[in-house]
Structure 1
């Protein structure tokens, strides 16, 4: 599935450093529990200096969630386009989501807890990017499970996201490679239930 969309601004390395630090702080203490001064201190700059990069915490949170939503969608399109068939595309999508979940558990927590603090128009943009990401999965799954109607494929996709995005609760339980392999096996096993569509 190819979509035409306006690209999200790619953060500079410094902005990326600030976004990553803010994600860790927001995940640990909540959006309202973290000050601009603390975010600046986490990357070695003063609070006022942070305003050269972001107009405030709200704009920082907005860019954080827009950026990750855009990156997930872009990577999914690239993975699906490069795959030779539906099975390979699905494996690539699952692997990509696992990489994200294992590498960025703080972003999962921030999204779940703090999306409501993003301005309405930007929240709609984030949701649109996420819907497009889901549809990449649905398109691949429809090729592999043609008897399953789209609402069932969509529900299965969200269920798999719930499984894979459980990493904030399981980080460090297993070595990364072992955890990735376990998650991949569980995701594919759960999606195999679509064979028995009713």
Structure 2
């Protein structure tokens, strides 16, 4: 994933703080005034950017699902002509970046997805299905003995492993970003390798 060098917009600041607060205390445990205070504006001032907390939650969860899919497609395009194993490594690296950098969104997805309107929840699920199927195709290229259902189960299992980062402790208690990333990568490839053994 590309590293941004420009300053985040006010909307991005609001979303980042909303994600952190929602993950820490739950959607209903956070008020608009608290989110505003976290970014230095009044609670009512948030309504210039979002119609309410529901809209923030929807943008966070739909947004990250869309970003993961777009990022994976970009990695596939960049890796055009590369060995399938290198493509899988690139996908794993991209998901690890998300899992380490956006830990509050993982918690938020697990706890608050059902709070979205039906249309937003369906969109999240649709984007996630596309993301999974993209992975399944690559995994089956690397491990051609895997049936489609087994490859899909393996992908979901690896996502569970990579998305366990909110349970690894506070950011300061991790062994370091590079070491954690390397560990998660080895474990993901080990899981796929185990699934591909016949």
TM-score normalised by structure 2 residue count = 0.91
* Unaligned ranges ≥5, structure 1: 1-11
Say if 2:52 is the partner of 1:56.
Answer: yes
Cα distance in 1 for partners of 2:104, 2:195 equals 31
Cα distance in 1 for partners of 2:126, 2:59 equals 15
Say if 2:182 is the partner of 1:176.
Answer: no
Q: Deviations over 1:19-61 (max 9, x none)?
A: 1000000000000000011111110000100000000000110
Question: What are the residue-to-residue correspondences of 1:52-91 with 2, within 5 Å?
Answer: 52-83=48-79, 84-91=82-89
Deviation at 1:147, TM superposition (A): 1.7
Cα distance in 1 for partners of 2:101, 2:132 equals 20
Say if 2:156 is the partner of 1:155.
Answer: no
Between 109-118 and 170-179, the greater mean CA deviation after superposition: 170-179
Cα distance in 2 for partners of 1:14, 1:60 equals 13
Q: What is residue 10 of structure 2 aligned with on the other side?
A: 14
Q: What is residue 189 of structure 1 aligned with on the other side?
A: 190
Cα distance in 2 for partners of 1:43, 1:128 equals 32
Cα distance in 1 for partners of 2:28, 2:176 equals 33
Question: What are the residue-to-residue correspondences of 1:111-130 with 2, within 5 Å?
Answer: 111-130=109-128
Q: Deviations over 1:46-98 (max 9, x none)?
A: 01000000000001100011110110000001111222121111000100010
Instruction: Give 1:105's match in structure 2, choosing from 103, 109, 123.
Output: 103
Cα distance in 1 for partners of 2:140, 2:20 equals 36
Between 53-62 and 75-84, the greater mean CA deviation after superposition: 75-84
Say if 2:35 is the partner of 1:39.
Answer: yes
Cα distance in 1 for partners of 2:75, 2:34 equals 37
Deviation at 1:144, TM superposition (A): 1.1
Question: Which structure 1 residue ranges, 4+ long, deviate > 2 Å from structure 2?
Answer: none
* Unaligned ranges ≥5, structure 2: 1-7
Cα distance in 1 for partners of 2:123, 2:196 equals 34
Equivalent pairs, count: 186
Cα distance in 2 for partners of 1:35, 1:131 equals 32
